[in-house]
C-alpha cells in the first residue's frame, strides 16, 4: 500500500483492494476523515511558484527556452570571474538565491532540471541565466490510476563530461502510476 500525505490530505493506492479498505477503516476509526472518492489522476504543479520566482528575479518577461542548457554548453571553473570588476558584477546577481529557488522546484516537481541545478550549484560564484523554467512552468507530475502498480526505473550517464575533474555524471529516475516518484543526478 502507498500512503501519500500532504498537510491534511491523504492519498491511498494499492494493488490489494482488501488491504486498501482495511487501511481506510483503520484510519477512519482513529481519525476524523472524509472520503472524497476515487482519484483518477493526481497532478502536482508548481506553476505559481515558478511565476513568483521569475517575477522575484525580474525574469517574468524573459524569452522562454526549450532546453535548460544549450547543446554544446560546457561549464568550467575557468569561467569564474577573473578580476575585481567581474567579481563586483557577479555580486549584483543574487545567484545563490536563484539557484536555491531552482533547486526547490527541482526537488518538488521538476526532475527535468536536476542535472542543470547540480551544475549551477557547483558554480555558485559564476551565474549563467537560463529561461528554461519560463517555458516549462506548466509542467507537472501526473499520476494515473492503473490496474497494476509497477515501479519502472531508468538510468543514464555521461563519460568524463566535467571539464574540471573529468568525472562522469550518473542519473536515475523512477516512475509509478505513470508519474515520476524519485530522481537523482550525481557525480
Q: Is the pLDDT of residue 145 over 80?
A: yes
Q: Cα-flanking dihedrals φ and ψ of residue 82, to 5°?
A: -105, -10
Residue 183 pLDDT grade (very low, low, confident, very high; cuts 50, 70, 90): confident
Residues 171 and 155: beta-carbon distance below 8 Å: yes
Extents of the domains making up the chain: 2-39, 42-148
Least confident span in 46-50, 79-83, 134-138: 79-83
Contact 3, 10 (CB under 8 A): yes
- Predicted confidence band of residue 30 (pLDDT cuts 50, 70, 90): very high
pLDDT surpassing 70 at residue 8:
yes
Whole-structure pTM value: 0.58
Neighbours of 137 (CB within 10 A): 20
Flag whether pLDDT at 133 surpasses 70: no
Q: What value does the mean pLDDT take over residues 125-143?
A: 66
Question: Is 80 exceeded by the pLDDT of residue 85?
Answer: yes
Q: What is the mean pLDDT of residues 51-71?
A: 86
Spatial contact of 101 and 130, defined as CB atoms under 8 Å apart:
no
Amino acid at each position: 500500500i502507498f500512503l501519500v500525505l500532504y498537510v491534511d490530505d491523504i492519498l491511498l493506492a494499492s494493488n490489494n483492494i482488501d488491504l486498501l479498505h482495511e487501511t481506510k477503516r483503520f484510519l477512519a476509526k482513529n481519525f476524523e476523515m472524509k472520503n472524497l472518492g476515487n482519484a483518477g489522476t493526481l497532478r502536482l504543479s508548481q506553476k505559481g511558484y515558478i511565476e513568483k520566482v521569475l517575477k522575484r528575479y525580474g525574469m517574468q518577461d524573459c524569452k522562454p527556452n526549450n532546453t535548460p542548457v544549450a547543446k554544446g554548453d560546457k561549464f568550467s571553473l575557468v569561467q569564474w570571474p577573473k578580476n575585481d570588476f567581474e567579481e563586483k558584477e557577479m555580486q549584483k546577481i543574487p545567484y545563490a538565491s536563484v539557484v536555491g529557488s531552482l533547486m526547490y522546484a527541482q526537488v518538488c516537481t521538476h526532475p527535468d532540471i536536476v542535472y542543470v541545478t547540480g551544475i549551477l550549484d557547483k558554480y555558485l560564484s559564476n551565474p549563467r541565466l537560463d529561461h528554461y523554467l519560463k517555458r516549462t512552468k506548466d509542467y507537472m507530475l501526473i499520476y494515473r490510476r492503473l490496474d497494476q502498480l509497477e515501479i519502472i526505473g531508468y538510468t543514464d550517464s555521461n563519460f568524463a563530461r566535467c571539464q574540471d575533474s573529468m568525472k562522469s555524471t550518473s542519473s536515475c529516475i523512477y516512475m509509478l502510476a505513470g508519474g515520476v516518484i524519485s530522481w537523482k543526478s550525481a557525480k
